[in-house]
Amino acid sequence: MSLSGKVAIVTGSGRGLGLAYARELARQGAAVVINDVDAEVAAEAVRTIEADGGKAAAVVAPVGNTEVAKQLVQAAVTEFGRLDILVTNAGILRDKSLLKMTDEDFDAVINVHLRGTFTCVREAFAYFKENGIAGRIITIGSPTGQRGNFGQTNYAAAKAGIVGMVRTWALEMKKAGVTANAVIPVAATAMTKTVPYFQKAVEADERGESMPAFFRHGLGFGTADDVSGLVAFLASDEAAGITGQAIGAGGDRLQLWTHPEAAATEYREGGWRYKDLVANFGPLFGGKLQSVGEEFLPLPEELQPEARPAQNQPLPAKVG
């Protein structure tokens, strides 16, 4: 087991994707600190990992503030003697279109996703640096942070911000031998049961069957276990040379996302004034404007849900 002797924290790991990540890390030999806001859910996650033959302990607290971040790191050291891996998975949703989104909706999502990632990573890196540990930081992004999604201003801002922080941390942590990467998952969770587009995929998964190839291969949509292998790999010594990356996983698909780069560049001596842009922007850049959101092919007839929704709906970020 490649992670034998390692200790990991996985925030938001009582159920769903977070639990899948924690179980895979444990299968690879790591002791795991489970984190959830529900004490019974956290306790059940610990029992599940122990039943698999792994080691686990739980911290019941909402991530966001520095005190909880310190508590998580201290739990790893107290329970298992050290810390090597941090996976920042905790998150919530408060989906509303812009004019309906309140300050509270925005702040709640930013606090858990973005601030929670920041505070936990800061504490983990301080521990790594103080103890000379070449640790692993694995954050969880989303297709929404990469492409945008209707009704998710807060979530898109948080997930895009996480990837931005990862690029910065890769620079700041390099000398210490610590890596920082973002995983962009697209996987079935309890939330996808409410999305008609994915109905046949979720039903197949619940029956213990493989999802149809249209989903697994065509859309890169799969199970939590399809993502957990990437998390464990990035936590391993084999991934020591990988840092500052955004890597997508789902179904049969693995993706390395590009960093933002200029799609087109033009120069004009003396700079670009208003009248120059009016006259030239369309001819120079009109055909090179970038798309937003996710687009999907219509479902094949045999994969249509019972109540057919409108086609070409954007992928809900809830799936990852």
Active site residues: 155
- Mean pLDDT confidence for 144-154: 95
pLDDT value at 166 more than 60: yes
- Mean pLDDT confidence for 193-214: 87
Q: How confident is the model at residue 202, as a pLDDT?
A: 86
* β-strand partners of 7: 31
- Four-CA torsion 182, 44, 68, 317, nearest 10 degrees: 40
Q: In the chain, what percentage of residues exceed pLDDT 70?
A: 94
Supply the CATH classification number for the domain 7-258: 3.40.50.720
- Mean pLDDT confidence for 296-316: 68
Q: How confident is the model at residue 191, as a pLDDT?
A: 63
Q: What angle do CA 77, 1, 30 make, to 5 degrees?
A: 20
pLDDT value at 199 more than 90: no
Q: How confident is the model at residue 249, as a pLDDT?
A: 98
Mutual orientation of helices 225-234 and 16-27 as an angle, nearest 10°?
Answer: 50
Using an 8 Å Cβ cutoff, are 35 and 59 in contact?
A: yes
Q: How confident is the model at residue 317, as a pLDDT?
A: 43
Q: In the chain, what percentage of residues exceed pLDDT 90?
A: 85
pLDDT value at 158 more than 70: yes
In the DSSP assignment, the letter for residue 198 is G
Report the C-alpha gap between 201 and 214 in whole angstroms: 9
Single-letter residue type at 161: G
Give the pLDDT confidence of 47-69 residue by residue, as tens digits: 999 999 999 999 999 999 999 99
- Mean pLDDT confidence for 155-162: 98
Report the C-alpha gap between 306 and 312 in whole angstroms: 17
pTM exceeds 0.85 = yes
Sequence-ordered alpha helix ranges (H) in the chain: 16-27, 39-51, 66-80, 103-109, 116-131, 143-147, 153-173, 199-206, 213, 225-234, 274-285
How many angstroms separate the first and last alpha carbons of the chain? 27
Q: How confident is the model at residue 308, as a pLDDT?
A: 46
Tokens 């601030």 appear where? 115
